[in-house]
Each structure stands twice: as structure tokens, then as C-alpha cells.
Amino acid sequence: MNAPLYKFGAFGDETSLVVAFVIGIGFGWFLERAGFGNARKLMAQFYLTDMAVFKVMFTAVVTAMLGVTYLAWAGWLDLSLVYYVPTFWVTAIVGGLLMGVGFVIGGYCPGTSVVSMATGRLDGLVYVGGFTAGTLGFALGYPAFRDLLAMGDLGVLTLPEVTGVSWGIVAFAVVLMAVGGFAGATWVERWMTAKADPAARAD
């Protein structure tokens, strides 16, 4: 098997758009299944009563990561042909913080806002409007951000490269962190829910 299939010419640009749509369906399906079209469910994470965001996100990361690891190990997936967003550590921090703050204000991220809008939520629709306006605002004000965007350019950088440790070790560490985190998260959920309302149904 020669993956990534598209990059080895298995199919062309037009087909890749169909692939995009189908993958999107899967993406939207599972986001909705997890309840991520609902801002209250998403926000509960940050008030510690429902840690689904952490659980879903890191389960997804671990699943895909292990998949990539095993497929690359078997020689089926050429990891050097998978796109990596270059690391700009300054904007990674600034952008990440801004996204986090915006998340608890807006209640969604761009992906989940589409899910929310699709299932009828008005706040999701308004969020999409805000995000669109913000995109335009950023575009119009781009010259002001040019310097910030260029700072801290470390190029394509992986965690194994940064830590000097093998991919496998990093992957195992991520798994341990995630599983440990899930156990901790569940404990926190139970503790918070019991504390806030002893009469509430346990998760």
C-alpha cells in the first residue's frame, strides 16, 4: 500500500474533493455524537463537571497517533509525505491562548460551530457569523500581524525531534498521559457533580 494515496497519484484533485466531503461527514457525525454541537456540553469541561472535550479530543489524538505509528512502521504510510504545519512558537502560544479565551466566550470552535448550526442552534449560527466577520477583520488588518506571524519560526518540528527521544517513546508517553488523564478527569467529574448537587444523577 502506498499512502498517502493521493500523493502517490491514486486519485486526482476532483476525487479528492469527494474524499473531503465524505471525511467531513465522518467528522461531523462523531462531533455531533459526542454532543459537541451543544455549547453547554463543551463548556462543562472548563467548569470541571463534564470532561468530554478532553476525553474525546485525546482519544482521537491517541487513536490517530497509534494508527499513524503502526502504518508508518509497517512501511505503508510515508510519514514524510504527510503535511506538517510549521512550528512558529510565538503564534502557537498567542493563537492558542486567544483560541482558548474565545472558546469560553463564544462557546464553540469553528468546527463545532458548524455542527451546532447544522443541528439548529442559533448561537452556533451567530458564532459562525462572528468567526466570518473576524476572518474578514484579520484579512483587512493583516499588515499589523505580519511581523507577529513571522516570529519564532522553527520550521517543521516534531516532539521527538525537540525532546531528542524516539517517536515510539513519545507516543507511549502520550498514551500514558492520556489514559492517566482520563482516569483523573472521571474522578474530577464525579467529585464536582457530587459537590455541586448531591441529588444530581451521577455520570
Q: Which of residues 36-95 bind other proteins (CB under 8 A)?
A: 37-41, 43-47, 49-50, 52, 54-73, 75, 77-89, 91-95
188 in contact with other proteins (CB under 8 A): no
Q: Which of residues 99-158 bind other proteins (CB under 8 A)?
A: 99-111, 113-124, 126-140, 142-143, 145-146, 148-149, 154, 156-158
As a whole number of Å, the end-to-end CA separation of the chain is 43
For helices 89-106 and 122-140, the axis angle rounded to 10 degrees is 150
Amino acid at 169: I
Supply the minimum distance, in Å, between the C-beta of residue 199 and other proteins. 13
Amino acid at 184: G
Supply the minimum distance, in Å, between the C-beta of residue 100 and other proteins. 2
Supply the minimum distance, in Å, between the C-beta of residue 194 and other proteins. 13
Amino acid at 1: M
Supply the minimum distance, in Å, between the C-beta of residue 124 and other proteins. 8
Q: Count the Cβ atoms, other than its own, within 10 Å of residue 61.
A: 13
Taking CB under 8 A as the criterion, the residue among 23, 150, 191, 194 binding other proteins is 23
Instruction: Give kind and range of the element (H or E) at residue 88.
Output: strand 87-88
Phi, psi of 153 (to 5 degrees): -75, 110
Taking CB under 8 A as the criterion, the residue among 162, 187, 190, 194 binding other proteins is 162
The rounded Cα 70 to chain-centroid distance in angstroms is 21
Rounded to whole angstroms, the Cα distance separating 88 from 71 reads 28
27 in contact with other proteins (CB under 8 A): yes
CB 19 within 8 A of CB 5: no
Rounded to whole angstroms, the Cα distance separating 22 from 32 reads 15
Nearer to other proteins by Cβ, of 73 and 191: the residue is 73
Taking CB under 8 A as the criterion, the residue among 26, 164, 198, 199 binding other proteins is 26
Nearer to other proteins by Cβ, of 24 and 194: the residue is 24
Supply the minimum distance, in Å, between the C-beta of residue 25 and other proteins. 4
